Amino acid sequence: MQWWRDAVFYRVYVPSFTDSDGDGLGDLPGIRNRLGYLELLGVDALCLSPICPSPMADHGYDVTDPRDVDRRWGSLPAFDALLTDAHAHGLRLVVDLVPRHTSEGHNWFRAALASAPGSSERARYHFRPGRGDGGAAPPNDWPSVFGGPAWTREPVSDDADGDDGRREWYLHLFSSAQPDLDWTHGEVRADLETTLRFWLERGVDGVRIDVAHGLCPPADLPDLAGDPRLDQDAVHDVHRTIRAILDGYTGRMAVGGVAVAAPERLARYVRPDELHLAVDVVLAHAPFDADGVRKVIEGCLTAVGAVGAPATWMLADHDVVRPVSRHGGGPAGLARARAMALVQLALPGAAFLYNGDELGLPDGAVPVEARRDLVWTHPEDSRDGSRVPLPWDDTLPGLGFTAGSSWLPIPDAYAALCAATQLEDTDSTLSLYRQALELRRTHAGFRGGKPEWFDGPSGCFAFRRAGTSLVCVLNASSAPVPLPAGDILLVSGPLEYGLLPPDTAAWLS
């Protein structure tokens, strides 16, 4: 049973979902308390942000032990309880693994720093002597994804004898708190296998592989010429190993976070013996433009179709600006975000929703002094805006997110967007999502084939799911347009005298 092929996954950013113990951070019991909400929403699976022990330099994407739960979120028994209850609510559960790097606090990395250059302890990471005078320059010219060089020189050790030139550099494509593992090392690969089995034996339905395209740089770590840091052929062997392990269990899946240059490159990650799904950020970066969105959709469907894999559509996650804000904020931003949700959910394949998008949340404005994201070097770089905690109930302290003091400030504007209020309002964004997900489950059109596009007014598109009567129309132009023939199933905003207004999408049958 390949349940993931058209599943709707709901990404829970654990720190910001629900806090059950008043420490201001979300946690696993908090998620457990909201399973009824998620069932009502109508998603198929939860995909949790990383829950393993971490010093939180990158909010869990820096792991010290991949086979335990950080005490901030709970414990392994709390995880097991969540998993059992999720299954009882008909929800599947996926955990996010971060295999490409560890935390600088991981025992392996501490042992590496405590050991001499050339030691076996260092061989699990990429340690290299520096270039230039006294080795004072990084071993190559690679930048980190977060800015600055991808190399940090090891600190001067306590027993330094003054021979600074022996100090090596270590590679980190993200922050210096996230040293990169060397995937040619047998123990590194064996450890991922142990980790996969650990979570699969506990009963998880799937795993997410973070930065799945970024595990295997060329062994000689050459200077930039193209971009040798990411998307190298050798990585596919790791994914074949992951797949072989998953294939030993029933009904389990792996989804990769894959950000590559072209859909054809993405498709290589979902070949029949590799990952089941790969999620890219292209649609989450696409402007609100019918031709551009159509191009992304067609490119992706053609590429993954060629390898027999389903597409995976994502409009947002914890790394990007929320759709409402990205599309301009205010009523127009919200209208566009709602329209894009109907486009996303009408497409064949799997969909990833990001928590809070079903409430139509804009990014929260986080004052500079309250910023928590490590990547920001100047204000607009921060990813904190899309990580602001969710508003649940405006009659409760902390809007029902926490009884304590929220780890990121919740803006006043979120009070009007609480889930409890939206559940009662048939025009709310939450109601739109619930209706869309219900139709997606029950209407045969959503089991149809690829989109068949038909011509429409400029700035608009319309497609029919092949072999069915289901039509999705998007009006991204600045004028109202007539709807094609058919019964309206759902509209993302009110019609104007029977016409589909700008910034609006509709489903017809």
Provide the binding-site residues for ligand GLC, judged by CB under 6 A.
58, 61, 98, 174, 210-211, 257, 318-319
Q: CA 98, CA 93: separation in Å to the nearest integer? A: 17
Smallest distance from ligand GLC to CB 439, Å:
30
Strand partners, 473: 462, 506
Smallest distance from ligand GLC to CB 150, Å:
12
User: In terms of CB distance, is 294 or 322 closer to ligand GLC?
Assistant: 322
User: In terms of CB distance, is 210 or 231 closer to ligand GLC?
Assistant: 210
User: In terms of CB distance, is 294 or 318 closer to ligand GLC?
Assistant: 318
Smallest distance from ligand GLC to CB 194, Å:
20
Number of H helices, E strands in the chain: 13, 16
Question: What is the chain's percent helix, strand, coil content, to nearest 5?
Answer: 35, 15, 50
Q: CA 100, CA 192: separation in Å to the nearest integer? A: 10
Smallest distance from ligand GLC to CB 378, Å:
18
Smallest distance from ligand GLC to CB 208, Å:
9
Element (H, E) at 257: strand 253-257
Q: CA 238, CA 190: separation in Å to the nearest integer? A: 11
Please, is 368 exposed, middle or buried when counting C-beta atoms within 10 Å of its C-beta (0-12, 13-18, 19+)?
exposed
155-164 residues labelled b (16+ CB within 10 A) or e (exposed)? eeeeeeeeee
User: In terms of CB distance, is 101 or 276 closer to ligand GLC?
Assistant: 101
Distances, alpha carbon 268 to alpha carbons 4, 99, 234, 271, 294, in Å = 18, 19, 12, 6, 22
Smallest distance from ligand GLC to CB 259, Å:
8
Smallest distance from ligand GLC to CB 8, Å:
20
Smallest distance from ligand GLC to CB 393, Å:
28
Q: Report the candidate in 37, 32, 65 with the shortest Cα–Cα distance to residue 51.
A: 65
User: In terms of CB distance, is 352 or 446 closer to ligand GLC?
Assistant: 352
What order of strands is seen across the sheet that includes strand 504-508? Answer: 451-454, 460-465, 471-475, 504-508, 488-491
Smallest distance from ligand GLC to CB 67, Å:
18
User: In terms of CB distance, is 257 or 456 closer to ligand GLC?
Assistant: 257
Element (H, E) at 97: strand 92-97
User: In terms of CB distance, is 94 or 339 closer to ligand GLC?
Assistant: 94
User: In terms of CB distance, is 180 or 503 closer to ligand GLC?
Assistant: 180
Q: CA 28, CA 57: separation in Å to the nearest integer? A: 20
Query: Tokens in use for 70?
Result: 């950080």
Helix axis angle for 186-202 and 235-247, nearest 10°, is: 30
Residue 508 three-state SS: strand
User: In terms of CB distance, is 49 or 492 closer to ligand GLC?
Assistant: 49
Residue 362 has phi, psi (to 5 degrees) of -85, 170
Smallest distance from ligand GLC to CB 50, Å:
8
User: In terms of CB distance, is 217 or 400 closer to ligand GLC?
Assistant: 217
Strands 312-314 and 169-171: unpaired
Q: CA 214, CA 235: separation in Å to the nearest integer? A: 7
Q: Which residue is nearest to ligand GLC (CB)?
A: 61
